[in-house]
Structure 1
């Protein structure tokens, strides 16, 4: 396998710049996920690594070798696409080994590679079938097998699970994670699904508007988002945001009175707090509000509470008896508060560190 290094990579279509100064070092055997909303540049970046898009500026290195001008077939990569891209007239077996046969690999070598790959992905009984005889999940496993059998330096996954239902996404996500560990690959995975990113990634690269918003382990981005965008994008249910005034170590807006978790300069501040951190406490508490909605989610309920002009969501056990129209109090520990500058959207601790 190999390292991947992106040095100040940019991408422009004429005067339209869609990627700006993208720099990233991916270690050998690391699983990195490009995460972000549609249009953020994550698939464009993956396609530049694959050689399917021209790099406008900067350098791409795979295994220490500059790849900017190399053809896709000479980069030592294998790619799994969103739409499977299987040959409909070929059997499953023929689809899997087609690339090796085109490359002139000996039949004995092909057979030795084929057996462990189809076994790992549970495809033995489907080898003689055509893609049209398979379900979507089975077709995607064939596409993964076709990439795996090449034993490339780097695996690229372009939203491979987005066309599948939730149950199939869950099972294939587990298979991709297992294969990564067994093959000890270097993998880059593109998705807009934060659950896929949080469960698969050694490191997440969160992207926005053609640039890196934040990178780190799933735990780092969840626990210490550096911007309002990162805080709002990561986490289900979404983080709550409220604007308050910081005065003498207190955070208030007329409907709440909270102690700041650290020294904050006087002025407007945006508070972020996750739904699970807000604890109902009868009619007392640091915040008071009226229950607007109560959604049953199985083991939990997502309850929307109107606090002054703000609506906040709280996550509570399904057995907690909260009724619509009921007035309740909420408490939150200062250590569970995330504070951001309303103008720049930057986490206040990050601004203090500059």
Structure 2
């Protein structure tokens, strides 16, 4: 059983505390994604799980056993790095099997373990080649194969697709998801790419400044972000935010008014609305504004509309004829509004009228 438990884990560099009070339980066979901007601590946390960084405080348990002082090779993990880390003078086969050979495993046993790994990743025709003769995507497959052949209980992925182009990222993302399903291992994956997180994760651990900002399924974090940071980080295009005042059941910034059918506490409120939640309304709409920019994105258009002092992004079907300079009306359902306290940046939970 390959559960991973983090109990109050801290990481300190001298006087600088970069990770604090990190608590997380990962179930056997679960696919967890650490997501966040650069410098949030996601790779540091992964390296502490791998044993490549010392844990300053707290406890790490894998399979119920404390791992703080265990060597990386004794933790039952395998790690795939961003930069592939292949030996250029070795063939693909030698790169994949090197770790097993150093562990003293016999050739027959290595060949038996090599065959299904090579087949799963489509590397059979490349075994005799050197890494320099491979594309970036092929090199990353070799790195994944080198991890797979160890038959680990826990897979660790440190931004493995960030050096690849968009098409290769898409195809390898599908392969990683399939391998996780077939191998039935526990996987922890680090990325700053929310598309990777949303499509791969059973649960996302969204991180900010060395701590967990929010944890949940992709749907939970997208539909009910706990904070302004989570709301702004998850979702493409980015959520719109409007600074408003709640007075007598009306939200207003002086130029714009929104009526909502539920109680909102009086005072400043930040309203979040996703671009896809708006509907154009030629009869007036809840908001009116001037089209500033119209970007064609294939099946959709991303339209920037000036509403009062705010510029709002609206995603509409590509066939709609929206012209720059025209004034249009917008509607948004109350259920699509996200309310946040502008001081604490925490989500506000409105009380609906009965």
TM-score, normalised to structure 1, is 0.98
Q: Deviations over 1:133-184 (max 9, x none)?
A: 0000000000000000100110000000000000000000000000000000
What does residue range 121-200 of structure 1 map to in structure 2 within 5 Å? 121-200=121-200
Secondary structure, aligned partner of 1:255: coil
Distance 1:346 1:183, change over 3 A: same
What does residue range 1-354 of structure 1 map to in structure 2 within 5 Å? 1-260=1-260, 262-282=262-282, 284-349=284-349
TM-superposed deviation, 1:109: 1.6
TM-superposed deviation, 1:112: 1.2
Distance in 1 between the 2:137 and 2:177 partners? 16
Deviates more, 1:167-176 or 1:257-266: 257-266
Q: Deviations over 1:37-78 (max 9, x none)?
A: 000000000000000000000000000000000111111110
Distance in 2 between the 1:84 and 1:138 partners? 10
Deviates more, 1:70-79 or 1:104-113: 104-113
Aligned residue pair count:
352
Q: Deviations over 1:90-111 (max 9, x none)?
A: 0000100111111111222211
> 1:48–1:54: 8 Å Cα contact kept in structure 2?
yes
Q: Deviations over 1:172-224 (max 9, x none)?
A: 00000000000001000000000000000000000000000000000000000
Secondary structure, aligned partner of 1:324: coil
Distance in 1 between the 2:255 and 2:218 partners? 33
TM-superposed deviation, 1:255: 3.2
Mark the runs of 5 or more structure 2 residues left unpaired by the alignment: none
> 1:248–1:266: 8 Å Cα contact kept in structure 2?
yes
Distance in 2 between the 1:44 and 1:59 partners? 15
Distance in 1 between the 2:239 and 2:89 partners? 48
TM-superposed deviation, 1:283: 5.5
> 1:287–1:330: 8 Å Cα contact kept in structure 2?
yes
TM-superposed deviation, 1:253: 1.9
Distance 1:136 1:350, change over 3 A: farther
Secondary structure, aligned partner of 1:348: coil
> 2:256–2:308: 8 Å Cα contact kept in structure 1?
no
- The RMSD of aligned alpha carbons is 1.3
Distance in 1 between the 2:277 and 2:220 partners? 17
Distance in 2 between the 1:110 and 1:260 partners? 65
TM-superposed deviation, 1:248: 1.9
Q: Deviations over 1:250-278 (max 9, x none)?
A: 21223333233532111110000000111
Distance in 2 between the 1:107 and 1:250 partners? 74
> 2:5–2:61: 8 Å Cα contact kept in structure 1?
yes
Secondary structure, aligned partner of 2:199: helix
Secondary structure, aligned partner of 1:180: helix
TM-score, normalised to structure 2, is 0.98
> 2:34–2:189: 8 Å Cα contact kept in structure 1?
yes
> 1:261–1:335: 8 Å Cα contact kept in structure 2?
no
